[in-house]
Structure 1
Amino acid sequence: MARTAGGRGGTEVPAWVEPMLAKPDGGRLREGPEWAYEYKLDGYRACMRISPAGTTVLTSRNGIDFTAEFAGLGGVLAEALEGRAAVLDGEIVVYNEAGEIDFGALQERRGRFQTHGTSRRGEPFDDVPVRYLAFDLLQLGTEKLLNEPYDERRLLLTGLPMPDPYRISTVRGFTFTELAADRRTPAHLLEHVVSSGHEGLVAKHRTSVYNPGRRSDAWLKHPLTRTTEVVICGYRPGQGRITGRMGGLLLGAHDPGTGDLVYIGDVGTGFSEAERSRLQTRLDALARRSHPFAVTPPREDTVRARWVDPVLVGEVEYRHFTRGAGRLRHTAWRGLRQDKEPREVLKPQQPGPRGAEPARIATEAPGTGEPPEAPVRLGPKITVQAGERRLTLSNLDKVLYPDGFTKGEVINYYSRIAPVLLPHLSGRPITFIRFPDGVEGEQFFEKNVPHGAPAWLPTVRPARSGSRGAGEAVTYALLDELGALVWAANLAALELHIPQWTVGADGARRPPDRLVFDLDPGPGTSIVHCCRVAERLHDALTADGLTPFAKTSGSKGMQLYCAVSTGDPAAPSAYAKKLAQRLARETPDDVTAVMAKAQRTGRVFIDWSQNNPAKTTVAPYSLRGRDQPTVSTPVTWDEVRSCRRPAQLVFTADDVLDRVGEQGDLFAGLDTARADLP
């Protein structure tokens, strides 16, 4: 139950509180009873401070005094507070005729104030009324509430009378539990957000305290449009009907790694005629002879350019941010941001604005009850304790998947899945597929341990069989502990591939201990067709005394595994090939055992060659380098038999963590079901 905050202090206006900031949620709206949701507002963030006498001061997120500009908001809550001081956090917004929050209208109003503010100071802009929407209460009376949990602060805020809701009111909030009681979900709430024209949602952890000036995992924003702040670095003069005015702006932002100001593209649409004129006046006063960037932009982008001092911050909408060139595409102007400093503006991370703060890394094993040691921040790097190892991680905010899944989230996934993944990697040389620039960039296989690997990382150099000799042997990494797994994830080694054999303590290769069938759907087929083939393989394998386990490939197909005993390294391939050829003979229109791609159309290819000692297969619980952070996921035979749509067997990292929490490791019984290879 919330405490009653009260008491009457002096006549002084309370001190300004630097606002707490939200992190991007990577495109995944958080769910669960610990979360509450508020509308994401498209306006000016402002701290409202009210003295016991009713004096009201409005301050922007970076300390600019908004009081005179929004004078109509002053004194509204004075009577309702009954002589108590208060500090509120909220957003100043303008509504359009459709009842939607309109940032452009707010910008127009601001432009008029800056042009005529001196002569009209104190005179309200009645044609563009503003509204203050409060979403947090930081002080009431003499009591500061920063260390109270969100639920407590929210209860006190909603208990305040709002005598004039046209000017000041409270942002609507919803808890996950309240939504569930109405048989609704956060997805339903998001649908309403879309239809009502709001910018998105902010999920807030209900036990979180208010951390001034911090960007916290406890507040996660889920925007519906891509926007980013930009630094205005120059412009192209207008032509035709806009001759004499700015035609398009040349934009910059700071590289989060180096701090350099870099060119990120231009914007030429979204301006009103009045705004073009106002901007031209501002730009004329900031003229300079040369560009302000650390690296000269391409000549074709700067024809007719006129440069300005990089002191103005604006905001644009955009569809894409290209990787190689680092350019915003399909931009539209939204307006100047007086509440932002140029040094705060960082270039977006491919493919969209995901923030510049690293994701929190959970490096403890789930279920151990051991909290992770607090990260030690080293600028763009942090150090974490991963099991027994102290590791330095970097570029955690780097987006590796198009949906916004970052390297920090990759490390978080591998850290949390480690208890069930590591047993399947133990003793098996690892082949990495690395994606240093994300899944849309270049990828490469890496068998040899990379330079700079930690000295404690175990390695193995199994001798090659055949005539090529030991001189071509590869030094592989072994991932037998949490620290090694986190180290690999920090290299953007998204995919982990392993052979069907292990090495002994002396590094010698042991005989194969697993049999694998890789079911690859050809053109015109899908994992649904793989499931039908898997059912037939299941029956054949069990008839031979083996116990098959199934998993998705994390891509289009699936794999079946059996634990086997054999002293002949060539035997698993021979057995798998014989069985694959049998199914192909029985149903030649549905199955092929031939590797040639011309034979695969309309058929499922049973790849028996994965049993060759030189081959590897993606490990259970490994991420895949696809459009989404999908995972090679163990599944039950009931799931295989009931699969009728490909989407039924597509699992992302979050899905897999939930599945393991509910079902445990579905591959846990694999090695205990070992049988002699027929």
Structure 2
Amino acid sequence: MTSIASLVNQQSKPCTEWDGYRCAMQIAPDGTTRLTSRNGNDFTAEFAELAGVLAPALDGRAAVLDGEIVVYNEAGQPEFGMLQERCGRYQTHRASLRRDEPFTDLSVRFLAFDLLQLGEESLLRAPYDERRERLLAVPMPDPYRVAVVRAFTFIELDADRRTTADLLAHVTAAGHEGLVAKHRRAPYTPGKRTDAWLKHPLTQANEVIICGWRPGQGRFTGTVGGLLLGAHDPGSGKLRYIGDVGTGFSDAERSRLHARLEELHRPEPPFADDPPCADVARARWVEPVLVGEVEFRQVTRGSGRLRHTAWRGLRADKTPGEVLAPRPDREPETSSPPDEPAAAGSTRPHGLDEPSRPLGAKITVRAGARQLTLSNLDKPLYPSGFTKGEVIHYYSHIAPLLLPHLAGRPITVIRFPDGVGGEQFFEKNVPRGGPEWLPTVPLPSTSGRSRHGERGEHGEPIEYPLIDELAGLVWAANMAALEIHVPQYTVDPGPPPLRRAPDRLVFDLDPGPETSIVDCCRVAERLQDVLAADGLTAFPKTSGSKGMQLYCSIDTADPAAPSAYAKRLAQRLARETPDRVIAVMSKTQRIGRVLIDWSQNNIAKTTIAPYSLRGRDQPTVSTPIAWDAVHACRHPAQLVFTADDVLGRVAEHGDLLASLGSTRAPLPTD
């Protein structure tokens, strides 16, 4: 792919690439507005709230604007999945919807990036600079519904003392798809791909043709389990198989796709050449008429298969004839094994400088209602190449699920300022220079250590941070605080501040030498039965490392009671199966056994938070899982989830710990 540095010159102007539907807004002199996709589909009824917005500003003139329709998530980032949810809801209910009925929870915005006609004058032959100037002169009476995409020139960037790498880092942190570099003197050429507009994506995505599907199993029975994908060979034009996708679907989307695909059944695969039999077991074939979009990490050489795919949604604005197979990736330049190519497996944004360059560039971003300054976004924090920018991206997207599990709990973090493998340290106190808006709570030290780490006789108070909003997560991630740990209690901020009684019971299952998380799953099943007999509901999650934890929501007035209860259960299981379970910390006794660590219920202890990253070779995550996954686990790899995996899982399953609080029950006292 062409380097962004070679695109951004005095003859080009990069604009942000948005995560939505390409759309033309056509406004007649009487104000009638029509919204159409690239392939002529009429979007007007579907996005009725956009119709007529610009008419008052045009004073009876006609106009045609080119742009993108987007939906924003809670972090203020355009999210294609939410746009797909809105479109799916419209398709399901359009027979009963009024034409002008809004979707108040999923409002849309039209982002204009070109002006093709104004009044009776066609601007197709005008240079982009002129079209851009005329577009900026059009008043935007309702910027919440229609706005103009921001653009930059090389001269403007240079005047701001910013580099193209800074611009890419800013775009990455803001959650955009990438940049489009446009030649400033080029005309507009409808329906043609030219070098005047060059797309520079930060993540790999491609349109695909749905050619078949696999029925779902387990809880997905009766819906779509996965899709079989095709695309046209750029050379021959033949339709060929390019792989499958099984993640990224919501339950509603699986059901909608099932209904549509059943109507398109055909007996044979539609490809020019039959795909490998092993790849298409249980496949049901369909007419290749539906276009969708997937994210992926790699295109394999030789076979041209997409690897590590995630579904993004149907593309009503594209036709099957437009869908071309992406080019295979370059061979990895290291000796990585075939299943884990070093370059292709990394999600580092294309075009950023390598880590050996001086790191120090700062950018300003908005996180919710806060403005933060971030730095060194392209600095790798994991040996796999996962960067600080990607850490911030993960925490920004997981925030709606993570924040409820942090609410009211004093936070301890583990920081990795030089990345995993370098120096790391626990931090409880808010560091000097912490933001004024960050809520904190002073609590007496339970370890007898002072604010500066020295051991004191009386345990000086610790000023713990409380992270209750997106900006707090971004601030912590910018400090390379990869791991977030929380206690089993919440606090009353006072004054005076007080620790409340514990509301969670936790069992940390830690596999010893010659055991794994598979053995932890067998112990977890036994614990689940014992806890259920005592009236408690257990929720499992992985630790993000080698083991796992079980959580129960409890009521107790005694801070010491959870540890005592957990210890009794751990000792009971150790007595019943001494060859498999241990309840003491002795390293010499742990070979071949799983430690049930009951001590994390102590007031002085913390546990890795749900959805927190871990400081390991890969950006693995402490991930809530279903009991079905625990029962089915027969290999450790089945319960290893990276940041990318988790974002796909939560889009499909939501928060598997969401109902933890609703199962609260009294802690047994016997």
The counterpart of 1:663, out of the listed 650, 653, 656, is 653
1-structure distance, mates of 2:585, 2:617: 26
Hey, what's the Cα distance between the residues in 2 that align with 1:483 and 1:428? 16
Match of 1:195 in 2: 302
Q: Which of 413, 418, 421 does residue 394 from structure 2 map onto?
A: 413
Equivalences for 1:65-464 in 2 at 5 Å? 143-145=187-189, 152-154=191-193, 175-177=207-209, 180-181=229-230, 182-185=240-243, 193-195=300-302, 223-225=329-331, 357=352, 380-464=361-445
Quick one: structure 1 residues 545 and 191, their matched pair in 2 at CA, closer, same or farther if it must change by over 3 Å? Answer: closer
Partners of 2:461 and 2:504 lie apart in 1 by 23
Work out the CA distance in 1 between the residues paired with 2:375 and 2:472. 16
Q: Offset at 1:402?
A: 2.3
How many residues align? The count is 388
Deviation at 1:175, TM superposition (A): 3.6
The question of whether the paired residues in 1 share the 8 Å contact of 2:416 and 2:424 is answered with yes
Match of 1:558 in 2: 548
- Tell me if structure 2 keeps the 8 A contact 1:514–1:561: yes
Amino acid at match of 1:578: R
Q: CA deviation at 1:441?
A: 1.7
Question: Residues 605 and 221 of structure 1: is their aligned pair in 2 closer, same or farther, counting only changes over 3 Å?
Answer: farther
For 1:508, the equivalent position in structure 2 comes to: 498
User: 1:672 and 1:357, CA in 2 relative to 1: closer, same or farther beyond 3 A?
Assistant: same
Q: Which residue of the other structure, out of 463, 474, 483, is the alignment partner of 2:462?
A: 474
State how far apart, in whole Å, the 1-side matches of 2:328 and 2:502 are: 48
Counterparts of 2:12 and 2:244, CA distance in 1: 29
- Determine if contact 2:14/2:181 at 8 Å carries over to the other structure: no
Is it true that 1:617 corresponds to 2:607 in the alignment? Answer: yes
Instruction: Output one character per residue of 1:392-446: Cα deviation in whole Å (capped at 9) or x when no partner.
Output: 1111111112222111111111111111111110111111101111112221111
SS for the counterpart of 1:546 is: coil
> Aligned partners of 1:356 and 1:489: how far apart in 2?
23
Give the distance between the partners of 2:473 and 2:600, measured in 1 at CA: 24
Amino acid aligned to 1:551? K
436-445 or 510-519, which deviates more: 436-445
Displacement, 1:222?
A: 8.4
2:523 is the counterpart of 1:530: no
Q: Kindly provide the CA deviation profile for residues 320-353 of structure 1, in whole angstroms up to 9, marking residues without a partner as x.
A: 9xxxxxxxxxxxxxxxxxxxxxxxxxxx9xx999
Cα distance change on mapping 1:193 and 1:573 into 2, 3 Å: closer
Amino acid at match of 1:185: G
Separation of aligned partners in 2, 1:516 and 1:622: 16
Offset from partner CA, 1:460-512 (integer Å, 9 cap, x none): 11124698765422211111111111100110100000111111031211111
Alignment deviations for residues 569-613 of structure 1 (CA, whole Å, 9 cap, x no partner): 111111111100110111111111111111111111100111111
- 3-state SS of paired residue (1:517): strand
Alignment partner of 2:480 out of 468, 492, 497: 492
Q: Could you say if the C-alpha distance between residues 677 and 599 of structure 1 is closer, same or farther in structure 2, counting changes exceeding 3 Å?
A: same
Cα separation, partners in 2 of 1:585 and 1:193, compared to 1, 3 Å = closer
CA distance 1:397–1:153, change in 2 (3 Å): farther
The answer on whether the counterparts of 1:515 and 1:611 sit within 8 Å (CA) in structure 2 is yes
Q: Find the residue that maps to 1:472 and give its secondary structure.
A: coil
- Counterpart CA distance in 2 for 1:570 and 1:601 is 30
1:424 counterpart letter in structure 2: H
Match of 1:648 in 2: 638
Aligned partner of residue 601 in structure 1, secondary structure: coil
- Give how far 1:536 is off: 0.2
Give the residue type in structure 2 aligned to 1:488.
A
Q: Which residue identity does 1:184 align to in structure 2?
A: I
> Offset at 1:224?
3.7
Report the Cα distance in structure 1 between the residues aligned to 2:650 and 2:597, rounded to whole angstroms: 28
Contact 2:613 2:622 in 1 (8 A): yes
The C-alpha deviation readout for 1:37-84, integer Å capped at 9, x for no partner, is: xxxxxxxxxxxxxxxxxxxxxxxxxxxxxxxxxxxxxxxxxxxxxxx9
Distance across 1 between alignment mates of 2:556 and 2:661: 14
- C-alpha change, 1:387 and 1:21, in structure 2 (3 Å) is closer
CA displacement at 1:184 relative to structure 2:
2.9
In structure 1, the residue matched to 2:65 is none
Q: 1:411 to 1:358 in 2, by over 3 A?
A: farther
Deviation, 1:185, is 2.2
CA deviations over 1:267-322 (Å, ceiling 9, x no partner): xxxxxxxxxxxxxxxxxxxxxxxxxxxxxxxxxxxxxxxxxxxxxxxxxx6779xx
Partner letter of residue 208 of structure 2? F
Structure 2: distance between partners of 1:518 and 1:533: 11
Q: Is 2:561 the counterpart of 1:580?
A: no
CA distance in 1, matches of 2:654, 2:543: 19
| Cα offset, 1:197, TM superposition | 11
Q: Could you tell me how far 1:177 is from its partner in structure 2? A: 2.7
Give, in angstroms, the shift of residue 153 of structure 1. 3.8
Q: What's the RMSD between the two structures over aligned residues?
A: 4.5
One-letter amino acid of the structure 1 residue matched with residue 367 of structure 2: A
State the SS of the aligned residue for 1:417.
helix
Aligned residue among 590, 593, 614 for 2:583: 593
Retained in 2: the 8 A contact 1:137–1:153? no
SS of the aligned residue for 1:545 comes to: coil
- Contact 1:580–1:608 under 8 Å retained in 2: yes
Q: Partner letter of residue 399 of structure 1?
A: P
The question of whether the paired residues in 1 share the 8 Å contact of 2:300 and 2:328 is answered with no
The Cα of 1:643 is off from its aligned counterpart by 1.0
Aligned mates of 1:221, 1:554 — CA distance in 2: 34
Give, in whole Å, the separation in 2 of the partners of 1:567 and 1:664: 32
- 2-side partners of 1:620 and 1:174: how far apart? 32
| Residue in structure 2 matching 1:544, options 527, 530, 534 | 534
Describe the shift of the 1:489–1:465 C-alpha distance in structure 2 as closer, same or farther (beyond 3 A): closer
Question: Is contact 2:573-2:581 (8 Å) kept?
Answer: yes
Distance 1:585 1:601 in 2: 16
**Which letter does structure 2 place at the counterpart of 1:499?**
P
Query: 1:79 maps to what in 2?
Result: none
Do the aligned partners of residues 568 and 138 (structure 1) sit closer, same or farther apart at CA in structure 2, a change above 3 Å counting?
closer
Partner of 1:516: helix, strand, or coil?
Answer: strand
Distance 2:529 2:546 in 1: 23
Residue deviations 1:500-531, cap 9 Å, x none?
Answer: 11110312111111110000011111111101
**Residue 161 of structure 2: aligned partner:** none
Distance 1:196 1:416, change over 3 A: closer
Q: For 1:484, give the aligned amino acid.
A: G
Q: 1:630 to 1:318 in 2, by over 3 A?
A: closer
Q: Secondary structure at the match of 1:563?
A: strand
The within-5 A match list for 1:47-62 is: none
